[in-house]
């Protein structure tokens, strides 16, 4: 039986891949007992002592249920799949090699989610570079010159240089189809990557939760600064702040005051410094907290679904939720950034306060973002799953890999057909006559047609509500109601 593609097997139910006739007998499965599928999530109000005097009510979420808890944990951990790392590493290696060939004195830092260890299977590569060439040119002009180097490169597809506060050169590694973003002298990106890497050392649950929450934020539409929503780094800081309130993560900058400002990142070996060991040596004791991933994930959703962004703001540097306070002249206090009208997520390094969540510039966007938090929490309660409003990470990965594999097969078959055709034209036929039978046609489903979502019957998902219309630099927008 000829080899079938993934698309062929799925598209035509009558086609099956060949099966080994002498496969070993499967081992006998152990007996299993049916356990409760009930998900119990209670809300208990407990007294919490504050400053040794004042007492306040604090909500604690208790998440129990053996089967469902394990199921939700597995869904969260599905975002931590590392199958895509090989492609990212190959693209990274080729980018570094090519750039070093073009610019001898270039210094390269890999930044972003992959460098920080919080990447998902959809993550691309981010680099920031530094060179002594073209000292009088702007960052945009330097990236345009670098773009010129890659135009004739057969390993990369060259995109445009995006004009922004931080210009970005877009590239694609052709072999792996990995997208690459390149910036010049982006110190913020290096510091942010280092911070996420340090917090990943503190507790391995952070990186797993971060991947799952970023995946959900992308699918639900919460992530997207260019559309007036939150950027990826702000979402990571919100998670760190939540885990700090539970004493799962410490306040690193409290133990290392020298980090409260613009720090210099020498290279992209972000794990060189064992921050967890250093912070323990300074007297910090990590509490034994065995709360599951699903418990913490659900708690994160409920925490920000009910968060009062009008009166409070997020400060990882201070290690706690801060109150929005002003002096008599309405000047912000306690390091509150000037852009403080809506969601405030403080940049943890800059001495001049800056709001990482400043892309959200309307109360309707705040309400819509918090609505998504509530919808996701309610989905866990009612459907006992993270997914429902969008395809699961397993299905998305399977579709992506199937698409890539089928495209490679298609390219290989075309090359083989062209080679055979060329060979038949070069070989002289000593006898016989030309073939005048019916024309041969391919029977394999074209991958482009199979993976065209408009042409395939798809699973129906929850209908999402429309988002407000984003108008740059304006507070008034069309509401989503």
Using pLDDT thresholds of 50, 70 and 90, give the confidence band for residue 32: very low
Domain membership flag for residue 131: yes
Domain membership flag for residue 15: no
Phi (first) and psi of residue 180, to 5 degrees: -130, 130
Q: Which helix (H) or strand (E) holds 42?
A: strand 40-50
pLDDT of 321-380, one tens digit each? 999 999 999 999 999 999 888 999 999 998 888 999 999 988 999 999 999 999 999 999
Q: Which residue has the higher pLDDT, 408 or 195?
A: 195
Q: Which of 457, 300, 326, 307 is nearest to 380 (CA)?
A: 300
| Structural domain total, the chain | 1
Stated pTM of the model: 0.79
Q: What is the pLDDT of residue 288?
A: 79
What are the angstrom distances between the C-alpha of 308 and each of 146, 270, 305? Answer: 46, 34, 9
Q: Which residue has the higher pLDDT, 355 or 49?
A: 355
Domain membership flag for residue 353: no
What is the percentage of the chain residues whose pLDDT exceeds 70? 76
Q: What is the pLDDT of residue 463?
A: 66
Using pLDDT thresholds of 50, 70 and 90, give the confidence band for residue 18: low
Q: What is the CATH number of the domain that holds 176?
A: 3.30.460.10
Q: Which of 286, 293, 295 is nearest to 211 (CA)?
A: 293
Domain membership flag for residue 395: no
Using pLDDT thresholds of 50, 70 and 90, give the confidence band for residue 43: very low
Fill in the DSSP letter of residue 355.
B
Domain around 178? 85-187
Among the ranges given (77-91, 214-228, 262-276, 379-393), the one the predictor scored with the smallest mean pLDDT: 379-393
Q: Report the Cα–Cα distance between both ends of the chain, in Å, rounded.
A: 57
Among the ranges given (96-100, 222-226, 287-291), the one the predictor scored with the smallest mean pLDDT: 287-291
Q: Which residue has the higher pLDDT, 85 or 464?
A: 85
Q: What is the pLDDT of residue 276?
A: 93
Domain membership flag for residue 119: yes
Phi (first) and psi of residue 457, to 5 degrees: -70, 120
pLDDT score of 55 more than 50: no
Q: Which residue has the higher pLDDT, 40 or 467?
A: 467
Among the ranges given (54-68, 117-131, 177-191), the one the predictor scored with the smallest mean pLDDT: 54-68
Among the ranges given (94-108, 158-172, 225-239, 430-444), the one the predictor scored with the smallest mean pLDDT: 430-444
Give the three-class secondary structure for 129: strand
Distance CA 56, CA 306 (A): 17
Using pLDDT thresholds of 50, 70 and 90, give the confidence band for residue 459: low
Mean pLDDT of the chain: 81
Among the ranges given (149-163, 207-221, 239-253, 393-407), the one the predictor scored with the smallest mean pLDDT: 393-407
Domain membership flag for residue 146: yes
pLDDT of 284-329, one tens digit each? 888 878 889 999 999 999 999 999 999 999 999 999 999 999 999 9
- Helix, strand, coil shares, percent, the chain, to 5: 40, 15, 45
Domain membership flag for residue 150: yes
Q: What is the pLDDT of residue 37?
A: 47
pLDDT score of 22 more than 90: no
pLDDT of 69-85, one tens digit each? 888 999 999 998 888 89
Distance CA 212, CA 296 (A): 12
pLDDT of 272-288, one tens digit each? 999 999 999 998 888 87
Domain membership flag for residue 264: no
Q: Which residue has the higher pLDDT, 152 or 117?
A: 117
What is the percentage of the chain residues whose pLDDT exceeds 90? 49
């Amino acid at each position: 039986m000829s080899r079938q593609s993934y698309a062929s097997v799925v598209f035509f139910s009558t086609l099956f891949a060949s099966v080994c006739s002498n496969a070993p007998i499967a081992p006998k499965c152990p007996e299993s007992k049916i356990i409760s599928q009930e998900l119990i999530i209670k809300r208990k109000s407990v007294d919490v002592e504050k400053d040794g005097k004042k007492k306040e009510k604090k909500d604690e979420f208790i998440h129990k249920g053996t089967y469902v808890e394990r199921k939700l944990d597995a869904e969260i951990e599905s975002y931590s799949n590392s199958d895509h790392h090989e492609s990212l590493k190959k693209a990274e290696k080729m980018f570094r090699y090519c750039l070093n060939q073009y610019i001898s004195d270039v210094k390269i830092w890999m930044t972003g989610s992959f460098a920080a260890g919080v990447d998902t299977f959809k993550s691309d590569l981010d680099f920031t570079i530094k060179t002594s060439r073209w000292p009088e040119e702007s960052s945009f002009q330097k990236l345009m010159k670098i773009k010129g180097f890659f135009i004739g490169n057969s390993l990369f597809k060259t995109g445009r240089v995006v004009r922004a506060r931080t210009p970005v050169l877009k590239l694609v590694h052709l072999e792996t189809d990995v997208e690459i973003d390149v910036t010049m002298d982006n110190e913020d990106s290096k510091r942010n990557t280092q911070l996420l890497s340090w917090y990943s050392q503190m507790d391995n649950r952070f990186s797993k939760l971060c991947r799952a929450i970023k995946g959900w934020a992308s699918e639900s539409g919460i992530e997207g600064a260019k559309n007036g929503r939150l950027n990826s780094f702000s979402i990571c800081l919100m998670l760190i702040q939540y885990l700090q309130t539970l004493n799962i993560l410490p306040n690193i900058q409290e133990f290392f005051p020298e980090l409260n400002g613009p720090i210099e990142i020498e290279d992209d070996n972000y794990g060189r410094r064992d921050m967890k060991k250093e912070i323990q040596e300074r007297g910090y004791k990590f509490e034994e907290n065995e709360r599951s991933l699903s418990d913490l994930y659900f708690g994160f959703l409920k925490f920000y679904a009910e968060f009062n962004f009008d009166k409070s703001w997020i400060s990882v540097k201070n290690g706690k939720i801060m109150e929005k306070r002003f002096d008599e002249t309405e000047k912000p206090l306690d390091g509150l950034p000037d852009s403080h009208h809506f969601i405030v997520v403080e940049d943890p390094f800059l001495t001049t306060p800056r709001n990482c969540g400043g892309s959200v510039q309307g109360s309707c966007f705040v309400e819509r973002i918090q609505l998504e938090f509530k919808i996701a929490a309610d989905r866990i309660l009612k459907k006992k799953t993270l997914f429902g409003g969008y395809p699961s990470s397993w299905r998305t990965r399977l579709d992506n890999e199937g698409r890539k594999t089928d495209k490679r097969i298609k390219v290989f078959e075309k090359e083989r057909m062209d080679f055979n055709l060329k060979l038949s034209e070069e070989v002289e036929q000593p006898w016989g006559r030309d073939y005048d039978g019916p024309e041969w046609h391919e029977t394999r489903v074209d991958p482009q047609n199979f993976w065209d979502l408009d042409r395939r019957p798809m699973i129906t998902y929850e209908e999402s509500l429309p988002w407000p219309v984003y108008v740059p630099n304006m507070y008034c927008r069309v509401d989503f109601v």
